[in-house]
Amino acid sequence: MDAISVIRTKRDRGELSPEQIDWVIDAYTRGEVADEQMSSLAMAILLNGMNRTEIARWTAAMIASGERMDFSSLSRPTADKHSTGGVGDKITLPLAPLVAACGAAVPQLSGRGLGHTGGTLDKLESIPGWRALLSNEEMLHVLDTTGAVICAAGDGLAPADKKLYALRDVTGTVEAIPLIASSIMSKKIAEGTGSLVLDVKVGSGAFMKTIEDARELASTMVALGTDSGVKTVALLTDMSTPLGLTAGNALEVRESVEVLAGGGPADVVELTVALAREMLDTAGIKDADPAKALADGTAMDVWRRMIAAQGGDPDAILPVAREQHVVTAPASGVLTRLDAYAVGVAAWRLGAGRARKEDPVQAGAGVELHAKPGETVTAGQPLLTLHTDTPEKFDYALKSLDAAWDIAPSGTAHQPTPIVLDRIA
């Protein structure tokens, strides 16, 4: 086998054989296939796709590149959740402790930012002392003692995906459905969770721009999970507008704590509770009320224990960006659109995301929203606040916000888009 022949097969719209897939994944993991060669193959897959047989084999090869975890020693059923990525999507932060408070164990292996979308680990690392990297033994201990853990996949878990995940982020190949499906499901199957709920985002701020593409991705992942013995369901959720009122690392942690304290934006609360109910149902827990656990502080208690167990200080003051720039409404009326993709790119350009896989992120960078679609605004009032430590980035971020919103005359009716668009099981 050689990398060039594998690349040519997919470049010419051919079907990769099982032997080609097994070889290229193994060789890339070992360093025999170079980053630039895998980048070329990833682009060919983005442009020409893969069939179900190829995707299943690619996923199996990713799993086989490392170890598989086992949570059978836990006294609770396990349930995990994965989002395909969005803008302001901080749902994992309140969701994991909420589901744990209701009786399930939540082994949440999360990732870093991809393109314009935020990364759960980047957000949590804005908490002083918090550690994303845990050994398998540490992960199991935190899970056993607190009920929930949010951490990075260990080096032994699907190491092929760890390399490819970072490469996709900086080569314009994040949106490839076969690579998204295999990346997510290889980690989740290898992780050993008993059940899985997928939050597949749809809209301008998502990698899946259309409901048809989102259904294809969701169906592919549900099939991969089910065939591997993991009870899997997917919700298709709206990502045309940012979730909540913040997009950025420390900004989203603050908002998540507000949700755990019984407040927070209504859309974040709604989606958190909806996903919690799905996770509890797939785990076989029928009598818990996640809305009650969120309102009475039980979930907050689990959050504090979980953060402390990973070295973080739940009472620490979170980082704040040194510089702010306020964007005001250009006219009075009803805000009818606030584009999630534009806000995500602005946050990324301000320093909340990466241009290269080795780049650091700014904990305090991001975008704060002062209005959401459907609300009335007045000319000159704050619409967005941009946060960064590097004010020279403001002009570049502002360019992404050109035509990012629509303001209609006062009295214009606005029909909100439902957060949950569909369910696939």
Q: Is 161 a catalytic residue?
A: yes
Q: Is 281 a catalytic residue?
A: no
Of the residues 80, 122, 161, 238, which is catalytic?
161
Measure CA 226 to chain center.
21
Of the residues 10, 57, 81, 82, which is catalytic?
82
What does residue 110 show for φ and ψ, rounded to 5 degrees? -120, 170
Q: Is 68 a catalytic residue?
A: no
Q: Is 187 a catalytic residue?
A: yes
Q: Work out the end-to-end distance of the chain between its first and last CA atoms, rounded to an integer number of angstroms.
A: 38
Of the residues 123, 168, 305, 387, which is catalytic?
168
Summarize pLDDT for 176-220 with one digit per residue, the tens. Answer: 999 989 999 998 999 999 999 999 999 999 989 999 999 999 999
Mean pLDDT taken over the chain: 95
Q: What ranges do the domains of the chain cover?
A: 3-49, 80-154+168-309, 323-408
Class of domain 323-408: alpha beta
Of the residues 83, 183, 186, 195, which is catalytic?
183
Of the residues 187, 188, 201, 354, which is catalytic?
187
Summarize pLDDT for 137-170 with one digit per residue, the tens. Answer: 999 999 999 999 999 988 788 899 989 988 987 8
Query: pTM (2 decimals)?
Result: 0.90
Q: Is 135 a catalytic residue?
A: no
> Exposed, middle or buried, 365 (CB in 10 Å: 0-12/13-18/19+)?
buried
Summarize pLDDT for 283-325 with one digit per residue, the tens. Answer: 999 999 999 999 999 999 999 999 999 999 999 999 999 999 9
Handedness of CA 31, 32, 35, 41 (dihedral sign): negative
What does residue 228 show for φ and ψ, rounded to 5 degrees? -95, 5
> Rounded CA gap, 199 and 425, in Å?
12
Rounded to 10°, the helix 18-30/35-48 angle is: 140
5 token code pair: 């022949």
Q: Domain 80-154+168-309, CATH 3.40.1030.10 — does that match?
A: yes
Q: Domain 3-49, CATH 1.20.1260.10 — does that match?
A: no
